[in-house]
Copies of this chain bind each other. A is one copy, B any other.
Amino acid sequence: MSITQYTAYTTLLQKAADLNYASALLSWDQEIYMPVKGAAARGRQLATLASQAHEILTSNELGNLLTELTNNEELNDTEKANVRLSLEDYTRNKKLSPAFIEELSMLQSEGFNAWVDARKKNDYSLFAHVLARMITIKRRQAELFGYKDHAYDALLDEYEKGATVAMLDPVFAGIKSQLPLLHKTIKNKTQVSNDSFQLNFPKQQQWDFSIDVLKSMGFDFEAGRQDYSEHPFTTSFSSNDVRLTTRVDEQNYASMLWSCIHEGGHGLYEQGLPEDQYGLPLGSPASLGIHESQSRLWENCIGRGHDFWTYFYPKLQTYFPDQLANISLEEWYHAMNKVEPSLIRTEADEVTYHFHVLIRYELEKGLIEGSMDPADLPAKWNELYQQYLGISPKDDKTGVLQDVHWSHGMFGYFPTYSLGSFYAAQFFHQAQKDIEQLDVQIRNGDTSQLLAWLREKVHRHGRRYTSEELCKQITGEGLNAAHFIKYIQNKYSSIYGISNW
C-alpha cells in the first residue's frame, strides 16, 4: 500500500518534472536558436507548460498523498526526505493563488520589457514605475509566504533555503570590515597588467580550447553540450542532458574563458545529480548558493589558479602560438588575476566582486522593507559605488540597469552569488585537506579526484541537506567567510608581492 502511494507520488512529481524540463528546453532554444518572430508563440507555449506543471504540483491529489506519506514509517530515508521536501514545496506553492501567479507572471513580462527598453534608451525612469509595482507585489508575496523577522527573509528563502537577514548580515559585515583593507593593500602595490587577454584570439581556437578544458574537468559530452548564447548560462533536462552556453569576444579572451569554466562547474553539478531521483527533490540541486559554489570553485579556485595553468598554459600556447609566444606563464597568471574596481558586476575580479553584491544586498533590503523609495535607486546606487569601489557609473546602463534580476522580481537572488564564492573557498580548503597532493594532481591536469570528491560530498545528495547542513557535514562548521578572506590573502600575496596584510 505504501509502495503504491509512494509510486503515485513520484509519478505525479516526475510528470511535472517532464513538463518543467520541456519548458527548460523551450527556454534554451529561445536564447540560442529561436528565430525572432517565434517569440509570441513560444511565450504562450511556456505559459501552458508552466500552468500544467503548477496544476499537478498544487493538486489535492498530491497534497493528500503527501499528507498520508508523511506519517508512513515504512519509507526508507531517501523516500522520507523526498516526501518531507515535497510537502514543504507543496505548502509553499499553495500559498500563492493562481490569480497571484498570473499577476506576477504578467508583471514579470512587463518588467522585463520595460527594463530592455530602459536599458536601450539608457533611462532608468522608464523602468522605475514597473519596478515600484514589482516591489509591491514581492512584498505581498513575502506576506503570503510568511516570515519571522524580515520580509526579505521570505524572498531569500526561495533561492537559498534557511538564509535570512540575521544570517547574512554578519557574513557581509565580516566582508565589509575586511575586504576594503585587503583591497587597499593590493591597490598600494605595483599593479599587474591584463593586456595579454586583449590580443586577437580567433573564435574557433577559443572554442576548441574550451572543449579541451571542459573534457579535462570531467564534463561528459555524451550527457551534455556547449553552444553559444548572448549571456552564458547552464540548463538541464535531466542529469544526462546538461546544456552549457558560452559567448566569445575575439578581442577579449576573458569573456569566454571564465564563462566556460564557470558554466562547466554548474554543468558538472547537474550531471552529478542522482539519475534515479529524476524529478524528485533528491534529484535536484541543493540551493542557488551551493550551485554557485560549484561554478566558483571551478572558475576561481581551480581555473584562475597557478596549478591549473602550469598544466594548461603550454597547451594554450599551441592554440595561440603567435599571440602567446612572448608571454610567460607568470604574466598570463597575473593578467587573469588583476584586481581593479569596475562598474560591471559580471566582469569584476574575485576581490571587488563582492562589493557589487553587497551593494545590491543593501539596496534590496531597503526596497523590500520599504525604507527606500525606488525613485531614489540610481542616486543611492551611485553613492554606494563611490563608497565601496571609489568609482561611480556615468549612466544608468553601466549602473542601476545593468542586471536583469529585478525586472523579473528576483529579489534575494544576488546574495547567493557571494555565498557561492564563500562556500567555494571553504569547500576547496577542505578538499585540499581531504585529497592528498591535490595541487600536484591539478598541475598534472588531473582533477578527477577533486570531481569524485565533489560528487561524493555535494552532488549525489541533491536537496537532502540545506546549504548550511551540507557545509557542516563537509567542513565541520557552518558557512565561515574567513576561509574566503584567507583564500584571497594566499592568492594575492604572490601576485602582488604582499608579505603582510
* Chain A residues near B (Cβ < 8 Å): 14-15, 18-19, 21-23, 25-26, 29, 33-38, 40-42, 44-45, 47-49, 52, 220-225, 227, 237-238, 240-241, 278
By a CB distance below 8 angstroms, the chain B residues around A278 are: 41
Measured between C-beta atoms, what is the minimum distance from A26 to chain B in Å?
6
23 A-B pairs, CB-CB below 8 angstroms?
A14-B44, A15-B48, A18-B44, A19-B49, A21-B45, A22-B45, A25-B25, A25-B29, A33-B227, A35-B224, A35-B225, A35-B240, A36-B222, A37-B220, A37-B222, A38-B237, A38-B238, A38-B241, A40-B240, A41-B237, A41-B238, A41-B278, A42-B237
Least Cβ distance of A34 to chain B in Å? Answer: 6
Whether the Cβ atoms of A48 and B35 lie closer than 8 Å is no
* Residues of B with C-beta under 8 A to A14: 44
By the criterion CB–CB under 8 Å, are A48 and B19 in contact? yes
Contacts of A36 in B (CB 8 A): 222
Residues from chain B with Cβ under 8 Å of A29 in the complex: 25, 29
Q: Is the CB of A35 within 8 A of B222?
A: yes
Q: Report the minimum CB–CB distance from A36 to chain B (whole Å).
A: 5
Q: Which residue of B lies closest to A24 (CB)?
A: B45
Given contact pairs A18-B45, A19-B52, A223 touches B37 in the complex (Cβ within 8 A): yes
Indicate which residue in B45, B220, B223 contacts A237 across the interface (CB closer than 8 Å). Answer: B45
Question: Do B41 and A225 touch (CB < 8 A)?
Answer: no
Which of A29, A45, A227 has its CB near the most chain B CB atoms (within 10 A)? Answer: A45
The reply to whether B41 and A223 contact each other, CB–CB distance below 8 Å, is: no
Contact (Cβ within 8 A) A26 B37: no
Give me 4 other A-B pairs in contact (C-beta within 8 A), A14-B44, A22-B45, A41-B238 excluded: A22-B22, A37-B222, A42-B241, A52-B52
CB-based contact A48/B18 at 8 Å: yes
State the CA gap A354–B45 with chains docked (Å). 40
| Nearest B-chain residue to A225, judged by Cβ | B35
Inter-chain CA distance A25–B33, complex, in Å, is: 11
Q: How many angstroms between the C-alpha atoms of A221 and B33 in the bound complex?
A: 11
Residues in chain B near residue A48, CB distance under 8 A = 15, 18-19, 22
Q: Closest B residue to A220 by CB, please name it.
A: B37
Q: How far is the CA of A145 from the CA of B224 in the complex (A)?
A: 42
- Asked whether B15 lies within 8 Å of A240 as measured between CB atoms, the reply is no
The answer to whether B49 and A18 touch across the interface, beta carbons within 8 angstroms, is yes
Tell me the complex Cα distance, A220–B36, Å: 11
Going nearest first, the 5 A-B pairs with the smallest beta carbon separation are A38-B241, A41-B238, A18-B48, A37-B240, A37-B223
Complex interface: chain B residues within 8 A of A35 (CB): 221-225, 240-241
Contacts of A38 in B (CB 8 A): 223, 237-238, 240-241
Chain B residues with CB below 8 A from A19, complex form: 48-49, 52
**Which chain B residues lie closer than 8 Å to A33 at the CB level?**
225, 227
CA–CA, A36 to B42, complex, Å? 26
Residues of B within 8 A of A18 (CB): 44-45, 47-49
Contacts of A45 in B (CB 8 A): 18, 21-22, 237
A156 to chain B, nearest CB (A): 31
Q: Which B residues are in CB contact (< 8 Å) with A238?
A: 38, 40-42
A485 CB, min distance to chain B CBs, angstroms: 40
By a CB distance below 8 angstroms, the chain B residues around A21 are 41, 45
Report Cα–Cα, A35/B35, bound state, in Å. 23
Q: How far does the Cβ of A261 sit from chain B's closest Cβ, in whole Å?
A: 20
Alpha-carbon separation in the docked complex, A51 to B225 (Å): 29
Query: Smallest Cβ distance from A388 to chain B, in angstroms?
Result: 43
- The chain B residue sitting closest to A238, CB to CB, is B41
A14 to B43, CA, bound (A): 13
Q: How far is the CA of A278 from the CA of B227 in the complex (A)?
A: 30
Instruction: Determine how close the nearest CB of chain B comes to the CB of A49; give it in whole angstroms.
Output: 6
Q: Residue of B at shortest CB range from A47?
A: B18
- Nearest CB of chain B from residue A23's CB, rounded to whole Å: 8
A22 to B15, CA, bound (A): 15
Q: For residue A220, which residues in chain B have a CB less than 8 angstroms away from its CB?
A: 37
For residue A34, which residues in chain B have a CB less than 8 angstroms away from its CB? 241
CB distance from A48 to the nearest CB of B (A): 4
Q: Please, how many angstroms separate the alpha-carbon atoms of A499 and B223 in the complex?
A: 61
In Å, the complex CA distance between A221 and B238 comes to: 31
Instruction: For residue A282, give the distance in angstroms from its CB to the closest CB of chain B.
Output: 16
Question: From residue A203, how far is it (CB to closest CB) to chain B in Å?
Answer: 15
